[in-house]
Amino acid sequence: MAHCAFSGSYDHSLDGKGRVIIPVAFREELGENFTITVNPTRTAIAVYPQDVWAGELEKLSHINPMDKRGAQYVRYRMSVSFTGNNIDAQGRVLVPQKLRAKMGLARDIVFVGMGDYIEIWDADAYAQFDEQAEENFDELVDYVYETYPGRE
């Protein structure tokens, strides 16, 4: 089910109506009826192809609705998830206003491929994140190889 097809980063900008051109490299794999939501760490917007989002919904379905904390998580995730999105004839998609506001998206944005989904970052926020990741890269490598053995 995992695509692992989304990689690279692409600078783009939102138009006055909140639309953005999806990078050509991502369009075919993204397909139709994709979901736009927040990413798992709430640092950017996430765009999930339909089958990957179905896997996310499957995970959420295992949370007992009587578990108040679990239900609160599900409620939040669903309230910031917009399904049934399609790329228009000009290659654009509307990024929901609610998500643009939550993630502080200004005009300049960066698309980042995350393997099986895409992230949309505010360009300034991503520049800070990218700089920090480069400065701490050796520590990040050590963390990943220690935490997730078998990645050698």
* pLDDT tens, residue by residue, 43-64: 999 999 999 999 999 999 999 9
Question: How confident is the chain (152 residues) per 10-residue block, as mean pLDDT?
Answer: 78 96 93 94 95 95 95 96 96 96 94 96 95 94 90 54
Residue 4 lies in a domain: no
- Is residue 102 domain-resident? yes
Domain count along the chain: 1
What does pTM read for this prediction?
0.91
Residue 122 maps to a domain? yes
Residue 149: the pLDDT is: 83
CATH code at position 75: 3.40.1550.20
HEC-encoded secondary structure of the chain: CCCCCECCEEEEECCCCCEEECCHHHHHHHCCCEEEEECCCCCCEEEECHHHHHHHHHHHHCCCCCCHHHHHHHHHHHHCCEEEECCCCCCEEECCHHHHHHCCCCCEEEEEECECCEEEEEHHHHHHHHHHHHHCHHHHHHHHHHHCCCCC
Q: Is residue 152 assigned to a domain?
A: no
